[in-house]
A and B are shown apart, each in its own frame.
Chain A
Amino acid sequence: RKEVEQDPGPFNVPEGATVAFNCTYSNSASQSFFWYRQDCRKEPKLLMSVYSSGNEDGRFTAQLNRASQYISLLIRDSKLSDSATYLCVVNKAILGSGNTGKLIFGQGTTLQVKP
């Protein structure tokens, strides 16, 4: 089983649609969670951190469910410019030892927003 699992997609949606991605992680000791965006042939860029209580940044909402070990990203009112691959990222921690300083990256979910 992969440490971070995402549905690779692609998700093809029309402009203005609401789309949600989920991600599951296996390491129950993980404490930090992020969503990154990666455009084709470019480096990943931090989209947002994910906090326990859930957080919102404009059209983007991130949620964390520790009990079920999954993270979600909701994009409202999709724009053409939202087309990219979204990477779910979790810190690698060891029970009893804490943070290793390493991050684990999911394979990514590809979103294509159509006019």
Chain B
Amino acid sequence: DGGITQSPKYLFRKEGQNVTLSCEQNLNHDAMYWYRQDPGQGLRLIYYSQIVNDFQKGDIAEGYSVSREKKESFPLTVTSAQKNPTAFYLCASTDRGGRSNQPQHFGDGTRLSIL
């Protein structure tokens, strides 16, 4: 089945630890996105990538890092510099990114909590 797979579903981070969230898509989409959602709030863009080997900061990139070495993969690292990482993290993708007005499709998310 085509889709976006995020793992793990639940993740716990210790103080001072970096953790990496996985996002893989087999939709052959060019663009991929990472969002953070806090309870009762909308989605906020962390990072996005419109093409392999290129990515841009979103609205709340501080304390996060990404890479886009392969078209199908866009992992997000939550570093120890992110002081309030507890949130629901959502990965999305869309075909042709900035060159189209297509909707984004989401993975089922990763819930990150602090131990």
Contact = CB atoms under 8 A, between A and B. Distances in A.
Contact of B101 (A4, A31, A42, A107): A31
- Sort chain B's interface into a size bin: 20 to 34
B42 interface: yes
B103 interface: yes
B76 to A, nearest CB: 15
B112 interface: no
What's the dominant secondary structure at chain A's contact region? strand
Interface string A83-115: 000010101000000011111011110000000
In the complex, which range does the number of interface residues on chain A fall in?
A: 20 to 34
Interface stretch (B12-20, B43-51, B66-74, B78-86): B43-51
Contacts of B103: 32, 34, 36, 46, 49, 89, 103
Interface of A: 4, 8, 31-32, 34, 36, 41-46, 49, 87, 89, 91, 99-103, 105-108
